[in-house]
Amino acid sequence: MTFPSFFGAAPTILMRDPLAQLLGSATDGVIEYHYVDVVKLAGHSCPTVAGAFLTARAALKALYPDAIPERGNINVQMPAPEIQGTTGVVAQVLTLITGAATQGGFKGIGQRFGRNGLLSFASEDTNKLEVRFERLDTGAAVKVFFDAHRVPADATQPER
């Protein structure tokens, strides 16, 4: 699969994942996520996918200003039902990066590393657009909002 060169110019997100370290999939426990990783997950690049990646990056920088964020230590609350608009797509990107999953997610090993139940959706449309991220260890929380409506259309693309 070949990707546009500008994908490589996108910022990256470093995550520390104690589970990945324990299981040997990341020997030092650090995983670096690139924009192309979320493009592969979604199967395409669009303002929603890019916005979800940037939303995660902004939230993690705010929650962990002086440290590498810990994957699996973050609760993510989506502002709308999973089936509404692009909420489900955004949630999938956030799951990849943060490890937060719905009840069907990884249950853990013993009492450690569980990620299930760390991702939740509003039960009805609340007209709120902010995704809430909360550290499990400190309780620090931040809300992040990405407005993809402000992304201008590409003038070189024909109207559909």
Has residue 47 got a pLDDT over 80?
yes
For residue 151, the model assigns a pLDDT of 66
The answer for 158, left when phi > 0, alpha when psi is -120 to 50, beta otherwise, is: beta
Closest CA to 130 of 140, 142, 119, 118: 142
Tokens 């110019």: give the residue.
9
Using CA atoms, how far residue 5 sits from 2, 10, 94, in Å, is 9, 10, 24
Q: Assess contact for 52 and 93: CB atoms under 8 A.
A: yes
Has residue 48 got a pLDDT over 60?
yes
- pTM above 0.85? yes
* DSSP 8-state class, residue 117: T
What residues does each domain of the chain span?
Answer: 10-148
